[in-house]
Amino acid sequence: MNLQHAKWRSEHHSKCREDRLYKQLLNNASQILSFSDEVMDEMGAISFRNADFSWLFHAMGPLAPECGSISVQAPAVNTKESPAEDWEAQSSRWQESAQNKTSQLLQLRKHRIPGKVLSPISTDVQNRLNKTAATLTSKHIEIPQAPRLQDILNPSAGIHATKSDSEQEIFSAGTDRTVQVEQRWMDRPTKIDSALKQSVAELATLRYAVDQWRNACNIKLPLQRVTIEGLKGALSDPNYPVRLEAIITCALGAVNGPQEELDPGKAGKGCKLKAVPQELQALIVSALDDPVKRVQMAAAVCQYAMRTPNARARDILRSTLKQDPSGTGADSWVAAQCLAIDGDTSQAVIQRLLSQHFLRDATSDREQSRMLLSNISSNTTLVRSLLAEELNSANCRTRVQACASIAQLRSPINKDLCNKLIYMMWNDWSCAVRHAAALALTKMDAAREMHSELSAKLKEGPTAWRVEALIFIGQLSIMTPKLLPTFLRCFNDDFVAVRKQACLTAASLMMDDQLVLDQLMNLMQNDPLWEVKVEAIDALGQIGWMNPALQELLMWAVHHEEEPSVRIAACKALSTLDAKGPELQHFLQERNALEPNADVQRHIESLLKKHGYSLGRNESKIHEIKLQVELLCTKHIITQKVLLMEERGKQQEQKLLC
């Protein structure tokens, strides 16, 4: 009786333990199911809820009766010889196996290895006890992916070799197989071979045209997620917006993908872009006859983006230009760019480029149109003629842009255009236009005419033209032996404006010629106007030439010049030229004590601090000077001096009479 009671207590105790372990199992299973969707998203299209979780129940030990569709095969246990110590050891082994499996799944979730699932194990229930060994197997499933467009555009993009072998072993979750890290396409720029460097500018122009037109169409394309199969379906989609987006995607892929050089005999075409797969090119060509005009336009642009234009694509783009008489549409702008890149020199293309150049405020558009006009100007004089008409515009901004564009043309300049620019250089009311015209002449083959005009205006021109000629010489950095004599005469000109501008021009050209330096030092000493003296001193400081004679002149100016502005300019020049010496230190300390003007005194103190000289005043010296001044200013001494001067004056008159 006692034996049966002990057996019953043992079975009851085992059943309670099984119930507790079963509840713990359910809690662990619910936690695993909570992130199953996220794990299976990384695995592919396999549903995590359709997987068999028998391996987990194997690992957790003895189970309760069947629950739902879960079937368990329990290991055979000798119930007659199952003491408490054996049961505790077996339970610990089951729990350890469950923890290992759970850690493997957590490791799988952490590193997100696609295609990694565990193979199911067929189980059944017998006596509610585990009868099989807790042997777990894993199976690696490779899920095939559809080919992507970026793999064709740039197959080497997105390959990261940053994972070491040890890290890959960790990612494999303990299996003997090597798990490859998922490679993501990061849209890195393509390296261009040295043989294609000549076509870099043309490719950049084409890329800008396609990208700006895509922005105008308000189409945002995630290239990283595009696949070739998806593009095939989109190009045949009955909805025209889908076809439009697919074609623009192909165009962007063409201008951003690798290139191959054409045959040497095919000159003038640069390189051929082969980023778009062959199976898509046929669909794009067929889209040229699409019933929707916008899709036809996109297909034509894509043909030019792939550098394989045909007659049909050319006709579509030319028709688009004709349908935009205002010259402001996005379609006509990209059409003009594509045709110009292909070498089309028709009037419609040139006028549309000029319209974008003069009517748009975007700097990038102006630079694009200016570059295209410059490229096609080598094949036609129509660009030069149409730009020359813009020189007569009432808008000064248009005239400035026309001068800048003419300066970059590759066609030779004619005499009429040269005379027009010379006239504008001297007579236009806008200073910006005059400078732009002069700059255009220097960049073209009219340097000789420009030089002759400057020399003639400096010699015989009116005052305003002499000043303007000096401004041009300084801005354009033009100085030749032929211009130097007439330039030196400007320092002694009768008009103040000419002398001041001569000083400014010498400073801008940094002319350290001794003849120029002598003229500047002469002006700082002897010019009757303090404004000219200030300009001459500033010019000497900017040129950076220094010698003892110039230092003496500057110190003299600080001491004796009546105008404070001249004294301030001399202090600035001494600071700029980094004049030093004991004599300068003593002089500055003395002037700091006696200078009556606060602004001049502030500059003197700044100069003393720069060289580390003492600012302390010599009070005894100052007191001595004040006593001497007071003594000389007494009534008795002044009367004697006046009588002495009158007597000397009478003596000189007598000598003259004799």
CB under 8 Å to 97, separation ≥6 — which residues?
A: 58, 59, 134, 136
Sequence-ordered alpha helix ranges (H) in 492-547: 496-509, 514-526, 530-543
Domain boundary residue, one of 421, 444, 467? 444
Q: Do residues 302 and 435 share a domain?
A: no
Supply the pLDDT for residue 217. 84
| Residue 438 domain-assigned (yes or no) | yes
Supply the pLDDT for residue 524. 94
| Residue 497 domain-assigned (yes or no) | no
Q: Do residues 430 and 291 share a domain?
A: no
Supply the pLDDT for residue 338. 94
**Which tens digits make up the pLDDT trace of 8-26?**
666 666 667 767 766 776 6
Indicate which CATH number applies to the domain containing 431: 1.25.10
Q: Which domain holds residue 400?
A: 361-444
Supply the pLDDT for residue 301. 93
Element (DSSP H or E) covering residue 140: strand 139-140
Pairwise CA distance, residues 649 & 94, whole Å: 134
Pairwise CA distance, residues 452 & 183, whole Å: 67
* Total domain count, the chain: 3
| Residue 590 domain-assigned (yes or no) | no
Q: Do residues 425 and 326 share a domain?
A: no
End-to-end CA, the chain: 175
**Residue 309 burial (CB < 10 Å; 0-12/13-18/19+)?**
buried
Q: Do residues 326 and 237 share a domain?
A: yes
Backbone φ and ψ for 117, nearest 5 degrees, come out as -130, 160
**Residue 391 burial (CB < 10 Å; 0-12/13-18/19+)?**
buried
Supply the pLDDT for residue 590. 82
| Residue 421 domain-assigned (yes or no) | yes
Residues 454 and 468 sit within 8 Å (Cβ to Cβ): no
Pairwise CA distance, residues 563 & 588, whole Å: 18
Backbone φ and ψ for 135, nearest 5 degrees, come out as -90, 125
Supply the pLDDT for residue 628. 78
Supply the pLDDT for residue 296. 94
Judged by DSSP in three states, 158 sits in coil
| Residue 102 domain-assigned (yes or no) | no
Residues of the chain predicted below pLDDT 70: 1-15, 18, 21-22, 25-199, 221-225, 257-275, 615-622, 658
Domain boundary residue, one of 344, 377, 405? 344
Q: Do residues 324 and 208 share a domain?
A: yes
**Residue 352 burial (CB < 10 Å; 0-12/13-18/19+)?**
buried
| Residue 533 domain-assigned (yes or no) | no
Q: How many CA atoms are closer than 13 Å to the CA of 456, on its beta-carbon side?
A: 8
Q: What six digits make up the tokens of 204?
A: 């950049």
Q: Do residues 293 and 243 share a domain?
A: yes
| Residue 242 domain-assigned (yes or no) | yes
Q: Do residues 225 and 301 share a domain?
A: yes
Q: Do residues 210 and 339 share a domain?
A: yes
Supply the pLDDT for residue 34. 53
SS3 sequence, 57-120? Answer: HHHHCCCCCCECCECCCCCCCCHHHCCHHHHHHHHHHHHHHHHHHHHHHHHHHHHCCCCEECCC
Q: Do residues 200 and 338 share a domain?
A: yes
Q: Do residues 336 and 396 share a domain?
A: no
Pairwise CA distance, residues 534 & 413, whole Å: 43
| Residue 400 domain-assigned (yes or no) | yes
Residues in the chain: 658
Q: How far out from the chain centre does Cα 143 lie?
A: 41
Radius of gyration, alpha carbons of the chain? 46
Q: Do residues 222 and 325 share a domain?
A: yes
Domain boundary residue, one of 344, 373, 401? 344
Q: Do residues 200 and 340 share a domain?
A: yes
Supply the pLDDT for residue 81. 45
Pairwise CA distance, residues 107 & 102, whole Å: 9
